[in-house]
């Protein structure tokens, strides 16, 4: 195991303990939806977004008792997006994180409700997080709703993913690929990093530097995901592979080919690490995470 994998695994253990107790089960039949929410959230995610947020916050001395509530809200929202993405009406997948998807484990109606429940709970949880000062909480709620929503956020990105088709015009197609990534995958990764800076009340220029880092790793993350779809091993990746080709998806890999895509991802990571030059060893985990994002096998 590389050092960053060990660090990430240790982080995940502590974070998962925190996250699990966010889902107390009620008594009545309505507990089914909470069970489905908990099933999907506690289903073995890598916790990259929480880790990014907590590491960025830690650069400014913010401890886990303050960053965990915000990170938990983000992971809830991320898990909602995965549940809905897996639904028959969207990506129609049976496997997620190596286990049956929410609608396979429960049923479609429960999975829709579990996604709705997690999206709502993310904001409920964040806005009630008394560990975070009220004005910072409000900023986080604003930034998270921007990142997740239909106006340039993740919902807009998912819409492009479902409905955009190649135009045949190089510039127009490159623009679609870039916007798709920036919104569908990039916005939540950017939020993770930016929220860490906001929690730490970082100066604006430092916050902007971290946002640049997040955009570069976001692009590389998406390319790595597309490469895994082509070349990964299904039992390790934990989801159905080769879907991008079969569904004629608009990806960087499909457009440029696998080797140029791999090179592009490596260049992006080099630039991301260069963005962190003003930080000392306290940003070493962020540097290592950038490389992990393209080296990962799942
Ligand atoms: C349904 C509004 C809506 C949006 C769905 C997240 C998403 C948008 C689609 C998932 C499909 C996909 C492959 C997206 C690109 C990369 C991505 C978000 C991968 C999953 O994130 P990881 O690898 O997952 O961090 P884990 O399971 O480790 O949390």
Whether 43 is in the pocket of ligand 1, judged by its Cβ within 6 Å, is no
100 DSSP β-pair partners:
95
Is pTM beyond 0.85? Reply is yes
Whether 87 is in the pocket of ligand 1, judged by its Cβ within 6 Å, is no
Cα–Cα distance measured from residue 215 to residue 17, given in angstroms and rounded to the nearest whole number: 29
What pLDDT does residue 166 have?
A: 84
| DSSP helix, strand, coil percent of the chain (3-state; round to 5) | 75, 0, 25
What pLDDT does residue 235 have?
A: 77
Nearest Cα neighbor of 210 from 122, 72, 218, 91 is 218
* Ligand 1 atom index nearest CA of 46: 28
Whether 8 is in the pocket of ligand 1, judged by its Cβ within 6 Å, is no
251-265: pLDDT as tens digits = 888 888 999 999 999
Tell me which residue has its CA closest to atom 24 in ligand 1: 45
Q: Are 184 and 59 in contact (CB under 8 A)?
A: no
208: CA distance to ligand 1 center in Å? 24
Go through 136-160 and write b for each residue having 16 or more CB atoms within 10 A of its CB, e for each that does not.
bbebbeebbeebbeeeebbbbbbeb
Whether 154 is in the pocket of ligand 1, judged by its Cβ within 6 Å, is yes
Nearest Cα neighbor of 241 from 259, 229, 252 is 229
Res 71 pLDDT > 90: yes
Nearest Cα neighbor of 283 from 204, 221, 202, 226 is 202
Tell me which residue has its CA closest to atom 17 in ligand 1: 185
Whether 112 is in the pocket of ligand 1, judged by its Cβ within 6 Å, is no
163-186: pLDDT as tens digits = 998 888 989 999 999 999 999 999
What pLDDT does residue 298 have?
A: 79
Mutate to test the pocket of ligand 1, among 85, 151, 182, 254 (most ligand atoms within 8 A of CB): 85
222: CA distance to ligand 1 center in Å? 9
Cα–Cα distance measured from residue 240 to residue 144, given in angstroms and rounded to the nearest whole number: 29
What pLDDT does residue 11 have?
A: 98
Whether 187 is in the pocket of ligand 1, judged by its Cβ within 6 Å, is no
Q: Are 82 and 96 in contact (CB under 8 A)?
A: yes
203-250: pLDDT as tens digits = 999 999 999 999 999 999 999 999 998 887 777 777 777 776 666 677
Whether 158 is in the pocket of ligand 1, judged by its Cβ within 6 Å, is yes
Go through 178-198 and write b for each residue having 16 or more CB atoms within 10 A of its CB, e for each that does not.
ebbbbbbbbbbbbbbbbbbbb
% of the chain beyond a pLDDT of 70 = 98
Tell me which residue has its CA closest to atom 5 in ligand 1: 81
Whether 105 is in the pocket of ligand 1, judged by its Cβ within 6 Å, is no
Whether 232 is in the pocket of ligand 1, judged by its Cβ within 6 Å, is no
* Ligand 1 atom index nearest CA of 238: 27
Whether 184 is in the pocket of ligand 1, judged by its Cβ within 6 Å, is yes
* Ligand 1 atom index nearest CA of 298: 23
Residue 153 DSSP code: S
Domain boundaries, the chain: 3-22+30-295
CATH superfamily, region 3-22+30-295: Farnesyl Diphosphate Synthase (1.10.600.10)
Residue 99 DSSP code: E
């Amino acid at each position: 195991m590389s050092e960053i994998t060990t660090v990430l695994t240790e982080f995940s253990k502590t974070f998962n303990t925190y996250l699990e107790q966010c889902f107390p089960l009620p008594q009545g039949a309505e507990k089914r939806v909470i069970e489905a929410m908990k099933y999907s959230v506690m289903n073995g995610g890598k916790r990259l977004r929480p880790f990014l947020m907590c590491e960025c916050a830690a650069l400014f001395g913010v401890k886990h008792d303050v960053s965990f509530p915000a990170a938990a809200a983000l992971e809830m929202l991320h898990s909602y997006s995965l549940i809905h993405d897996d639904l028959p009406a969207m990506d129609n997948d049976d496997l997620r994180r190596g286990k049956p998807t929410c609608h396979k484990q429960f049923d479609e109606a429960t999975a829709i409700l579990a996604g709705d429940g997690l999206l709502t709970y993310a904001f409920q949880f964040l806005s009630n997080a008394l560990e975070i000062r009220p004005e910072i909480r409000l900023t986080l709620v604003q930034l998270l709703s921007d990142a997740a929503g239909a106006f340039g956020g993740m919902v807009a990105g998912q819409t492009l993913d479902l409905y955009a088709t190649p135009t045949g015009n190089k510039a127009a197609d490159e623009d679609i690929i870039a916007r798709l990534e920036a919104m569908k995958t990039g916005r939540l990764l950017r939020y993770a990093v930016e929220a860490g800076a906001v929690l730490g009340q970082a100066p604006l220029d430092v916050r902007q530097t971290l946002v640049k880092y997040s955009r570069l790793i976001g692009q590389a993350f998406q390319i790595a995901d597309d490469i895994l779809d082509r070349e990964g091993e299904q039992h390790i990746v934990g989801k159905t592979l080769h879907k991008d080709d079969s569904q004629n998806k608009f990806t960087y890999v499909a457009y440029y080919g696998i080797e140029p895509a791999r090179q592009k991802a490596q260049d992006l990571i080099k630039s991301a690490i260069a963005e962190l030059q003003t930080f000392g060893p306290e940003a070493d985990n962020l540097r290592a995470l950038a490389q992990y994002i393209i080296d990962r096998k799942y």
